[in-house]
Structure 1
Amino acid sequence: MLTIHLADEVRRAWDAAPLVEGAVAVEGTRIAAVGTPAELRERFPGARERRWPGVLGPARVHEGPLPAAPSPRERVHAVLKLGAAAVLAPCLDTPELRAAALRNDVAVLPAARPAALEPGGRADLAVFDADGACLATVCVGRLVHRRR
């Protein structure tokens, strides 16, 4: 199903200029397009819409050890709650932790890389409020964290 994520501000990369009142179209696991709400509504009529307050951009790469938690699944979920949908391979120091990351479709990278919203790329998005708190994380097109 195609979803258009709308936000007060969209950033293709966290160091890029913001697109005020922007939108990102996600089809399945991939980004279909980035633009204004009007452009994406015209291009994808009938798409489901999800409105987010704050700033929407690419999900982050978690570069350090995963947060402590009782189980590998909870450690991976703690990363998702921070707005990250990728971790560095050296930080997955047990087979159980690596399996939990892969089960949750978290990207496992050999090294850090800049995150960006690009058509055709993985639909890994994060939404942050004005204080920098993560409001939502989308990992390969699936909403995996939402702060209430």
Structure 2
Amino acid sequence: MLTLHTAELLVPGAGSAPLTGGAVLVEGDRIANVGPYEDLAAVHPHARARRWPGVLTPGLLVRGADVLLERTYYPDDPYESAELGTDPISGADALEALKMTEVRWGHSARRGTQKLLARGVVAVAGRFTVPAVRTAVARSGLAILPPAPYEGAPALDPFAGRDAAEEAFHGVLEQGAPARFAVFAVPDPAALPVQGATTCVATVIGGRLLHRRR
């Protein structure tokens, strides 16, 4: 089935000129075409249309994901919020007090991957040593890449510490490329490092809508 994803502004990739009213045509897990929505809709009148507010960009990459998912615990809200609060927990002493097990790390990682998907992340770089965590990441749909250099502390928000949004992009939106992208409720790409990835309204991986802000 063909699906047309369109937003007020489309940014195909780093260094690409934004396209007003642009769209991505998805077939299966691949991008079938990219261009003006009106043109693609005219050629494919039976394609399902998904209209999003804001800016549609390539999905984002997070580096240091092993720190975020194997050395950070995400409390199970609401069941643990009264005891642990809702903020992520890190630090050797705090984690030791939690008496973490592999199973508990796996549950935490699933909650962590949902937070990443809700920020437009489609790929993570890191070396996972806890089998349950690696399984949770693989099942989430996120691509797992080898560790890559990064500055500062890893963050759930790929735009944190970035001067330009394109520094966090993973891949480009072009015909034949994997259908993985995100949409953010901002007026233009320049606003992303300021307003952050929590403005994400949709994340698509492998042609599937894995996050949609309610």
The answer on 1:145 being equivalent to 2:211 is yes
**Are residues 143 and 106 of structure 1, via their aligned partners in 2, closer, same or farther at CA, if it must alter by over 3 Å?**
same
After the TM superposition, which parts of structure 1 deviate over 4 Å for at least 4 consecutive aligned residues?
A: 111-114
CA contact (8 A) 2:2 2:27 kept: yes
Q: 1:40–1:84: structure 2 CA closer, same or farther, 3 Å change rule?
A: same
Q: What is the CA–CA distance in structure 2 between the aligned matches of 1:17 and 1:128, rounded to whole Å?
A: 17
CA RMSD between the two structures: 1.8
Amino acid aligned to 2:74: A
- Determine if contact 1:14/1:57 at 8 Å carries over to the other structure: no
Q: How does 1:98-117 map to 2 (within 5 A)?
A: 98-110=134-146, 114-117=170-173
Shift of 1:104: 2.1
Matched, 1:86 2:123: yes
**Partner in structure 1 of residue 192 of structure 2:** none
Q: Which shifted more, 75-84 or 57-66?
A: 57-66
**Alignment match, 2:61:** 61
Q: Secondary structure at the match of 2:174?
A: coil
Alignment-derived partner of residue 200 in structure 2: 134
Return the offset for 1:111: 5.1
Rounded Cα–Cα distance in structure 2 between residues aligned with 1:118 and 1:28: 15
SS in 1 for 2:20: strand
Moved more, 48-57 or 38-47: 38-47
**Unpaired segments ≥5 residues, structure 1:** none
Q: Is the 8 A contact 1:61 1:115 kept in 2?
A: no
Question: Given the two structures, how large is their TM-score scaled by the length of structure 1?
Answer: 0.89
- Where in structure 2 are the equivalents of 1:10-21 lying within 5 Å? 10-21=10-21
User: Higher helix proportion, which one?
Assistant: 2
Aligned residues: percent identity? 45
2:7 partner letter: A
Conservation of the 8 A alpha-carbon contact between 1:8 and 1:52: yes
Residue 82 of structure 1 aligns to which amino acid in structure 2?
R
Per the alignment, residue 43 of structure 1 pairs with: 43
Given that residues 63 and 126 in structure 2 are in contact (C-alpha distance below 8 angstroms), is that contact kept between their aligned partners in structure 1? no
- Which amino acid is 1:76 matched to? T
Per-residue displacement from partner, 1:18-75 (whole Å, max 9, x unpaired)?
1011100011111111100122113322000000000001110111333642422111
Number of matched pairs:
147
What SS class does the counterpart of residue 7 from structure 1 fall into?
A: strand
Of residues 99, 119, 133, the one that matches 1:97 is 133
Query: What is the rounded CA distance, in whole Å, between the counterparts of 1:69 and 1:26 in structure 2?
Result: 33
Name the structure where strand makes up a greater proportion of residues.
1
Query: What SS does structure 2 have at the residue aligned with 1:145?
Result: strand
CA shift, 1:93, in A, is 4.0
SS in 2 for 1:73: helix
**Structure 2 unmatched runs, 5+:** 76-106, 149-168, 187-194
Cα separation, 1, equivalents of 2:213 and 2:129? 28
